Amino acid sequence: MNRRLFAWMSAPLLAAFALITLGAPRSARAADMSFSLKYDVPPAKKGERTIVKVHLVPGAGYHVNKDFPTSLVIAPPVGLSVEKPRQAAKDATLLAEAGADFEVALTASEGGSKLVTGDFKFAVCSATSCDPKKEKVSFTVNIK
């Protein structure tokens, strides 16, 4: 067989093998309809306290498991400080079957746009299953 033809044919096969073996990239996977994360990010001013709200909304047919050890861990970038970077279920402003809300209080020491990331652990349940989740949180704060 012609080597170029073999190389051309083997590339798609290797890609398919990688998808089967390693799993599809997150963007190619089906969307998880069991929950959604929403952020309320107000504009911030340098040196002033700002509150960002993180909302967990269960999908249709699901509810938040209030007994799960829910936690939110924020990793602030340089130039941004967070009052409580690690929050547990007891720190939530709302923790109910209908949803969960956390407030992230932050203060900027410099202006510009800052990408804030972190991890959110929670569980959503349906009538037949309870699914623990570990999701990346990500929001941008614009500071004047």
In what helix (H) or strand (E) does residue 21 lie, and over which residues does it extend?
Answer: helix 3-22
Domain residues for 18? 1-30
Instruction: For 61-85, write each residue's pLDDT tens digit.
Output: 999 999 999 999 999 999 999 999 9
What was the pLDDT predicted at 32?
Answer: 86
The mean pLDDT value for 112-135 works out to 96
Residues 1 and 45 in one domain: no
The mean pLDDT value for 118-136 works out to 96
CATH number of the domain within which 105 lies: 2.60.40.10
What was the pLDDT predicted at 96?
Answer: 98
What was the pLDDT predicted at 30?
Answer: 56
Residues 15 and 62 in one domain: no
Residues 21 and 49 in one domain: no
- Look at the chain and report how many structural domains it folds into: 2
Residues 22 and 61 in one domain: no
Q: What is the DSSP letter of 26?
A: G
| Beta-bridge partner residues of 108 | 80
